[in-house]
Amino acid sequence: MQDLNVSIVLYHTDKSILIKAIESVLKSNLVKHLFLIDNSRGDKLREIKSLSEKILYIHTRKNLGYGKAHNIALKKSLENNIKYHLAMNPDIYFNEGVLEKLYRFMEENEEVGLVMPKVLYPNGKLQYLCKLLPTPFDLFSRRFLNWGVFKKIVEKRQNVYELRFTGYDKIIEAPFLSGCFMFLRVKILEKIGLFDERFFLYCDDLDLSRRIHSTSKTILYPYCEIYHEWGRGSYKNFKLLIYHIVDAIRYFNKWGWFFDKERKETNKKILKNNLFF
């Protein structure tokens, strides 16, 4: 049964990288439609839709941002009563059977609204993409204080914030799962809404994951894996850094900077369940 739609947001994306992602997706018979939402100025990537009848190419003609572009496809899934929707980055690839494993897990666990597999760099190194709800210190210190006398303090906090102590080798619940690969139960989105379009490029995954976690479980399922050619653009590009800072400010303006009762209670529960304290 084709119960899964997939969306990938493009912005002057390298064609060879994108084809690897598309080929990974199309290995699965679960996929009904693969939406390519192209935020690029031109539509040079339009020709890729010829790879499969399942590909629906949408050229926005301007950079809408990450969440707003994915929402175009998510609304289609809602309208057509699709059971699951995968929002993923174009720099993701994986082997056959991954989507089937995640699908079975969701079918067997109706209380789960969002699941993510283990995420690896192409060299096999683990990416720590399951996190607590961040404090301002968590977001800003890892970017600006991770050096010199502050480095040990930041690294100690990151071990907790990124739930590294769990080993990522068992099923764990985390309130913040990376937006690079979000396997979503669509009926949950009917309750909590789609990506908040006030966020342009960053923190939209944090915001959506947090809202899903408030009504259902958000889970790392480590028994299958994907590969992510992660570039950490805001560490290399000043413009992206500004986007990151602005979106982080928007996030804390929305949820609270230093007084966020839900964050405190959620993180305490997650740490307790993982037997850290």
Looking at residue 144, its pLDDT comes to 62
Looking at residue 149, its pLDDT comes to 61
Residue 219's pLDDT band, with cuts at 50, 70 and 90, is very high
Q: Do residues 65 and 199 lie in contact, with contact meaning Cβ atoms separated by under 8 Å?
A: yes
Looking at residue 231, its pLDDT comes to 59
d(CA 213, CA 205): 12
d(CA 259, CA 261): 6
Q: 49-53, 72-76, 150-154, 244-248: which range is least confident on average? A: 150-154
Looking at residue 155, its pLDDT comes to 80
Nearest partner of 135 among 274, 271, 262, 277, judged by Cα: 262
Mean pLDDT computed over 68-74: 98
Mean pLDDT computed over 197-224: 96
In angstroms, what CA-CA distances link 4 with 67, 146, 220? 19, 40, 19
Using the 8-state DSSP alphabet, how is residue 126 labeled?
B
What pLDDT, in 10s, does the model give residues 29-58?
A: 999 999 999 999 999 999 999 999 999 999
Looking at residue 233, its pLDDT comes to 45
Q: Which residue has the tokens 């992602």?
A: 21
The amino acid at 107: E
Question: Is the pLDDT score of 153 beyond 80?
Answer: no
Mean pLDDT computed over 241-260: 92
d(CA 73, CA 70): 5
Say how many Å lie between the first and final Cα of the chain, rounded: 43
Per-position b or e across 38-53, b if 16+ CB within 10 A of its CB: bbbeeeebeebbeeee
Q: 58-67, 111-120, 140-149, 198-207: which range is least confident on average? A: 140-149
d(CA 90, CA 80): 24
Per-position b or e across 249-273, b if 16+ CB within 10 A of its CB: ebbbeebeeeebeebeebbeebeee
Supply the mean pLDDT for the chain.
92
What pLDDT, in 10s, does the model give residues 160-182?
A: 999 999 999 999 999 999 999 99
